[in-house]
């Protein structure tokens, strides 16, 4: 706006009353005025608000908050004070830009999910990723321990001080910063025409790199990147793809993708889920849940039934995403990465102030700027301490001169008319300086003792030693750099923590199980494999052949494919197979219980055994009781297919072949009508060419063709399968496939009076072909001759060999390789055996 003035240059307000002023309107160029004003505004925003200083990594408001809290004595070993008090002190003395901006900056410095190394210890609600903080009148704060490393030694002339906004208080231009705060905690800000966005890093890694730069100023970026491989985000997670990080370290600009840490877990026996324990940087669980629900509602995401947030203070973040049955969890996870913030992008833009000018800096320039700053701080601190010690030595030397001739000194003082005269005479007689003379005049009588003389001499020697050390540091650039590097190492040892973020190259981004599945799909698709195109994971589980397994310890599971049991090999986990059924991933199978019930199961509901060296790991199964509701005393006997004839055998020697005519509208039904006290001991599919085998406790074995037992309906009670002697009962019932030349019979004898699992007994393994077939409902032939002390079979089994055994603890035991003795008795075992099953792995 133009100014109005009188011809004499005086303001119109000074004219006599009634006199009309003459107008003097000065024309200005609006474009020039706007350019000048905008530049001033832009510079103010860039320098005074938005961009951090490359030396201490702090914006002005952050630096003023820490300096004021240090000046107020809000150290970690003292109590918290109201945040409003800190905000008021900062605003009134150093930062006149409003309390909201100050409190927001203060809150961020206290949030452990925003900074890798928080600088303020907050007490109260300082917000979360989804919610803002409480008002400053409700929260309390004090300096964190790490903040002391930024403000230490401020009183030793290590940095320059500048006036505050009203020239009444001095404030530091930059903090001493005992660690590279800009790289450790990162920064973000939007200025005029530029912005900064820097990722947090691991303190120990950054300090190691800074030490390398300090010790070797000519180090290369590649050498530094070996120590700092990538950012280390406060929330952990995974960084996928390192090319963008390398670009950012080289040029100051780049980007990388962050992913949540997700594990596939069996939530219940029938339900699989994705459990999120770490999220990308600055992404909250509520935002993720909202995006998932929106994507499910818009049909972008499939296979998700529910999302539950189980996050608490004791266990940390735990976001459970429940999946529908029949969906591939890894394929669903890929969709989640695509449509939700479980995968996010972080753009690096390393803009910071260097000598008051904004610059885009790579990793090596950032480290060099910090190293130069820290070396300057330590040099100025050393010079300050050297001056203080020289001043003290000067006083001590003068005091020693006075004490050595204390009587004469006292006489000079007593005979002087005033202090000035005494000072002049002391300076003349003992050749003292004015400072030394004044110090002597201010002495107290108690300092004139003999003990004080000894202390002064000791102090003199200590001061001379310290002065020599400080002068050596100032005179040697090598010693100075070693001192700076050593102090950095102490900071890293004190405040350093292990890396939280996992760094992955682009080719390693998929989970191991998903990569194995994709590799298997590629192997089946020769054309795609030849062309180098990776097969995408199918969203729904393919209806491929697999094996359903029931183990001796009662666990149930399925393999990922039908090849898992095709080849033999070493066992990767304890336990033995009790029942193995070939089915498909979306097929149905039946579970036969000891009371004669059959329960329909969906193969897709069964947990998949994780492969270990190509073989299924039985640790992945879950208890069968989670799939089948069992009554008191009822147990699961076997798994059977629903599309073929199944043979059942009972403890009282009853046999039945069940026709595959099952109700379609029921999930369980009776497979056989049992007599009182009877129970099912075995079930397996049996064609007319197969053999049915009974083995009793009294070591009688009977087998006959399955064709001699006609198939019956569900309600039939079966027919006589084996004639049992008085007090005898069937111990094992099984089916031996026709033409199976490797089939064996395993019998383990022991004492009926021995406690279960205490006596190993004797084992006998006999080829099945050595036993002659007999007619149905007969007593069979002798299978095992008892030795002294043996009167019963503890374990019996017949089927495809070789066989494996399991102890009471579920540990796999190898059976003796040699057959029984010539007299028909067994070979002594070293340890008890409770179960025997086929050795498919």
Higher pLDDT, 698 or 531: 698
pLDDT band at residue 806 using 50, 70 and 90 as cut-offs: confident
165 is catalytic: no
Q: Is 569 a residue whose pLDDT tops 70?
A: no
Question: Could you give the CA distance from residue 610 to residue 496 in angstroms, rounded to a whole number?
Answer: 36
Report whether the peptide linkage leading into residue 802 is cis, meaning its omega lies within 30 degrees of zero. Answer: yes
Using 50, 70 and 90 to split pLDDT, how confident is the model at 386?
A: very high
Q: What is the predicted pLDDT for the residue at 667?
A: 86
* pLDDT in the model for residue 189: 87
Q: Would you call 517 exposed, middle or buried from its count of C-beta atoms within 10 A (0-12, 13-18, 19+)?
A: buried
User: Token match 């004898």: residue?
Assistant: 749
Question: What is the fold, at CATH topology level, of the domain defined by 545-838?
Answer: Neuraminidase (2.120.10)
Q: Is the pLDDT of residue 262 over 60?
A: yes
Instruction: Give the pLDDT score at 6.
Output: 45
| Cβ-contact 615, 569 below 8 angstroms | yes
**Helix residue ranges per DSSP H, 443-585:** 450-475, 477-495, 512-524, 526-531
Per CATH, 385-494 and 545-838 having the same topology is answered no
pLDDT value for 523: 44
pLDDT digits (tens, 9 = 90+) for 155-211: 999 999 999 989 999 999 999 999 999 999 999 988 877 889 999 999 999 999 999
Query: What is the per-residue pLDDT for 451?
Result: 56
In the predicted structure, residue 629 carries a pLDDT above the cut 60: yes
Q: Is the pLDDT of residue 819 over 70?
A: no
pLDDT at 517 over 60: no
Which has the minimum average pLDDT: 8-12, 112-116, 627-631, 766-770? 8-12
Phi-psi region of 465 (alpha: psi -120 to 50; beta: other; left: phi over 0): alpha
Q: How does residue 564 score in pLDDT terms, banded at 50, 70 and 90?
A: low
Of 176, 160, 142, 170, residue with least CA distance to 69: 142
Nearest to 129 by CA among 276, 283, 261, 345: 283
Predicted confidence at residue 666, as pLDDT, reads 86
Task: Point out which residues pair with 658 in neighbouring strands.
Answer: 646, 712
Compare 618 and 642 and report the one with higher pLDDT: 642
Give the pLDDT of residue 502: 93
Q: 626 burial class (0-12, 13-18, 19+ CB within 10 angstroms)?
A: middle
What per-residue confidence (pLDDT) applies to 16?
A: 63
Q: What integer is the mean pLDDT of 42-54?
A: 78
- Tell me what the pLDDT averaged over the chain comes to: 85
Catalytic residue among 138, 281, 430, 495: 138
Distance (Å, whole) CA 239 – CA 509:
9
Whether the pLDDT of residue 46 is over 50: the answer is yes
At 1, the pLDDT band (50, 70, 90 cuts) reads very low
Mean pLDDT of the region 245-253: 95
Whole-angstrom Cα distance, residue 356 to residue 502?
36
The per-residue DSSP string of 265-297 comes to EE-SSS-EEEEEEE--TT--HHHHHHHHHHHHH
* pLDDT at residue 9, as a whole number: 45
Say whether pLDDT at 62 is over 90: yes
3-state helix, strand, coil in the chain (%, to 5): 35, 25, 40
- Residue 535 is predicted with a pLDDT of 47
pLDDT level of residue 379 (50, 70, 90 thresholds): very high
User: Which fold is adopted by the domain 385-494?
Assistant: Topoisomerase; domain 3 (1.10.268)
Residue pLDDT, tens place only, 431-459:
889 999 998 888 887 766 765 788 888 99
Write the burial class of residue 445 (CB in 10 Å: 0-12 exposed, 13-18 middle, 19+ buried): exposed
Return the higher-pLDDT residue of 424 and 314. 424
Per-residue confidence (pLDDT) for residue 21, from 0 to 100 = 67
Mean pLDDT of 25-44: 76
Q: Could you tell me if 232 and 501 are in contact, meaning their C-beta atoms sit under 8 angstroms apart? A: yes
Which pLDDT score, from 0 to 100, does residue 821 have? 67
pLDDT at 37 over 90: no
User: With 90 as the cut, is the pLDDT of residue 497 above it?
Assistant: yes
Q: How far apart are the first and last CA of the chain?
A: 92
Beta pairing partners, 835: 806
Predicted local distance difference test score (pLDDT) of residue 271: 82
Q: Which long-range contacts (CB under 8 A, 24 or more apart) does 451-454 make?
A: 452/403, 453/400, 453/403, 453/404
Report pLDDT for 549: 87
In this prediction, residue 574 carries a pLDDT of: 53
DSSP H or E segment with residue 403? helix 363-404
Q: How confident is the model at residue 628, as a pLDDT?
A: 83
In this prediction, residue 514 has a pLDDT band, given cuts at 50, 70 and 90, of very low
- From residue 454, alpha-carbon distances to 391, 422, 439, 465 in Å are 20, 26, 18, 17
Q: What percent of the chain has pLDDT over 90?
A: 53
**Which of 199-208, 399-408, 523-532, 763-772 is modeled with the greatest confidence?**
199-208
Among 135-139, 421-425, 671-675, 798-802, the minimum mean pLDDT is found in: 798-802
The per-residue pLDDT for 153 is 92
Name the least confident of 29-43, 278-292, 398-412, 727-741: 29-43
Residue 509 has pLDDT above 60, yes or no: no
What's the mean pLDDT in 718-743? 91
Burial zone of 325 (CB within 10 Å; 0-12 exposed, 13-18 middle, 19+ buried): middle
| Structure confidence at residue 610 as a pLDDT band (50, 70, 90) | low
What tens digit of pLDDT does each residue of 317-362 get?
Answer: 999 999 988 788 888 999 999 999 999 999 999 999 999 889 999 9
Q: Which of 390, 402, 409, 406 is nearest to 460 (CA)?
A: 390
**pLDDT reading at 778 higher than 80:** yes
Which CATH superfamily includes the segment(s) 51-177? Topoisomerase II, domain 5 (3.90.199.10)
Residue 444, pLDDT score: 80
Residue ranges per domain, the chain?
1-39, 51-177, 385-494, 545-838
What's the confidence (pLDDT) of residue 152?
Answer: 92
């Amino acid at each position: 706006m133009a100014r109005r003035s009188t011809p004499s240059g005086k303001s119109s307000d000074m004219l006599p009353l009634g006199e009309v002023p003459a107008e003097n309107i000065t024309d200005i160029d609006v474009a020039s005025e706007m350019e000048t004003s905008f530049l001033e505004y832009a510079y103010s925003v860039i320098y005074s608000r938005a961009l951090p200083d490359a030396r201490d990594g702090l914006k002005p408001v952050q630096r003023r908050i820490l300096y004021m809290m240090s000046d107020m004595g809000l150290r970690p070993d003292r109590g918290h004070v109201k945040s409003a008090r800190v905000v008021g002190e900062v605003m009134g003395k150093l930062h006149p830009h409003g309390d909201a901006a100050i409190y927001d900056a203060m809150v961020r410095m206290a949030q452990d999910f925003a900074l890798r190394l928080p600088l303020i210890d907050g007490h109260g609600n300082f917000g979360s990723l989804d919610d803002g903080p409480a008002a400053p009148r409700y929260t309390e704060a004090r300096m964190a321990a790490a903040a002391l490393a930024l403000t230490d030694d401020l009183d030793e002339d290590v940095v320059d001080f500048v006036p505050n906004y009203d020239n009444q208080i001095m404030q530091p231009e930059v903090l001493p910063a005992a660690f590279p705060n800009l790289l450790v905690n990162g920064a973000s800000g939007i200025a005029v025409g530029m912005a900064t966005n820097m990722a947090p890093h691991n303190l120990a890694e950054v300090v190691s790199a800074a030490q390398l730069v300090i010790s070797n100023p000519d180090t290369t970026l590649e050498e530094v990147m070996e120590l700092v491989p990538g950012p280390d985000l406060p929330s952990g997670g995974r960084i996928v793809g390192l090319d963008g990080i390398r670009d950012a370290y080289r040029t100051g600009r780049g980007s990388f993708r962050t992913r949540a840490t997700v594990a596939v877990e069996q939530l219940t026996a029938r339900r699989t889920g994705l459990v999120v324990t770490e999220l990308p940087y600055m992404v909250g669980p509520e935002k993720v849940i909202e995006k998932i629900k929106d994507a499910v509602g818009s049909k972008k995401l499939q296979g998700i039934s529910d999302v539950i947030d189980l996050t608490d203070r004791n266990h940390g973040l735990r976001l459970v995403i429940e999946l529908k049955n029949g969906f591939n969890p890894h394929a669903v996870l890929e969709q989640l990465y695509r449509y939700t913030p479980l995968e996010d992008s972080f753009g690096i833009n390393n803009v910071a102030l260097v000598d008051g000018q904004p610059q885009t800096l790579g990793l090596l320039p950032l480290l060099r700027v910090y190293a130069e700053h820290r070396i300057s701080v330590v040099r100025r601190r050393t010079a300050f301490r050297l001056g203080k010690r020289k001043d003290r030595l000067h006083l001590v030397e003068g005091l020693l001169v006075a004490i050595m001739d204390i009587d004469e000194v006292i006489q000079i003082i007593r005979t002087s008319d005033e202090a000035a005269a005494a000072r002049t005479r002391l300076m003349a007689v003992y050749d003292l300086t004015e400072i030394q003379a004044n110090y002597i005049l201010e002495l107290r009588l108690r300092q004139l003792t003999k003990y004080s003389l000894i202390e002064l001499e000791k102090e003199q020697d200590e001061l001379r030693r310290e002065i020599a050390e400080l002068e050596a540091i100032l005179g040697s650039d090598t010693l100075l750099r070693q001192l700076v590097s050593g102090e950095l190492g102490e900071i890293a040892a004190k405040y350093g923590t292990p890396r939280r973020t996992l760094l992955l190259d682009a080719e390693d981004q998929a989970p191991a199980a998903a990569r194995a599945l994709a590799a298997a799909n590629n192997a089946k698709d020769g054309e795609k494999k030849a062309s180098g195109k990776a097969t995408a994971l199918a969203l729904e589980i393919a209806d491929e052949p697999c094996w359903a397994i029931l183990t001796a310890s009662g666990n149930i599971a399925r393999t990922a494919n039908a090849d898992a049991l095709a080849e033999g090999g070493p066992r990767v986990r304890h336990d033995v197979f009790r029942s193995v059924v070939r089915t498909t991933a979306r097929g149905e199978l039946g579970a036969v219980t000891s009371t004669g019930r059959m329960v329909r199961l969906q193969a897709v509901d069964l947990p998949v055994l994780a492969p270990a060296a190509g073989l299924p790991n039985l640790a992945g199964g879950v208890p069968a009781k989670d799939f089948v509701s069992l009554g008191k005393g009822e147990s699961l006997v076997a798994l059977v297919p629903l599309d073929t004839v199944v043979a059942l055998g009972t403890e009282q020697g009853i046999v039945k072949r069940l026709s595959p005519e099952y109700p379609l509208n029921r999930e369980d039904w009776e497979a056989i009508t049992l007599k009182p006290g009877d129970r099912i001991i075995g079930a397996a599919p049996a064609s007319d060419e197969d053999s049915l085998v009974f083995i009793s406790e009294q070591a009688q074995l009977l087998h006959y063709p399955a064709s001699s037992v006609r198939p019956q309906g569900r309600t039939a009670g079966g027919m006589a399968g084996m004639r049992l002697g008085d007090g005898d009962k069937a111990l094992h019932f099984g089916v031996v496939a026709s033409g199976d030349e490797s089939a064996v019979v395993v019998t383990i004898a022991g004492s009926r009076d021995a406690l279960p699992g205490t006596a190993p007994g004797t084992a006998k393994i006999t080829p099945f072909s050595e036993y002659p077939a007999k007619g149905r409902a007969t007593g069979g032939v002798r299978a095992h001759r008892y030795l002294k002390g043996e009167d019963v079979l503890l374990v019996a089994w017949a089927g495809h060999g070789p066989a494996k055994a399991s102890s009471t603890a579920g540990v796999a035991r190898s059976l003796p390789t040699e057959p029984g003795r010539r007299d028909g008795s067994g070979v002594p075992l070293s340890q008890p055996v409770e179960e025997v099953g086929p050795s498919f792995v």
